Amino acid sequence: MSPNDNDLVPAPILATRRLIVRPMVATDMEDLAAILQDPVAMTAYEGPFSDEEVRRWLDRQLERYADDGFGLWALLARDTGQMIGD
């Protein structure tokens, strides 16, 4: 995967009536931060992530795609296209 590939939105892996599942890309940073920095969403963790922790988390997913061929996927609401989880 070249660095420019991280800027392209990949084709969905799976689509249902309500969800779209696709690999994450570098440009998902803002949407991912909204989730990982939400105190309620991050209750199961030790709290919300800092900007740096979100960046490292996303970078790790991109590394997993390149190194292992898989990683966590972005979950988007089909009706809005908004990332709602992973």
Predicted local confidence at residue 3, as pLDDT: 46
pLDDT of residue 83: 96
What pLDDT, on the 0 to 100 scale, is given for residue 7? 59
Q: What pLDDT score does 1 carry? A: 40
Phi, psi of 40 (to 5 degrees): -70, -45
Q: Nearest CA to 8 among 55, 62, 56, 44?
A: 62
Nearest Cα neighbor of 77 from 65, 85, 67, 68 is: 85
CATH superfamily of 3-85: Gcn5-related N-acetyltransferase (GNAT) (3.40.630.30)
Domain locations along the chain = 3-85
DSSP H or E segment with residue 32: helix 29-36
| Structure-block tokens of residue 86 | 């992973």
Tokens (6 digits) for 4: 């420019």
Ordered per-residue pLDDT tens for the chain, 86 residues:
444 455 577 788 999 999 999 999 999 999 999 999 999 999 999 899 999 999 999 999 999 999 999 999 999 999 999 999 99
Identity of the amino acid at 76: L
Q: How far, in Å, CA of 71 to CA of 73, rounded?
A: 6
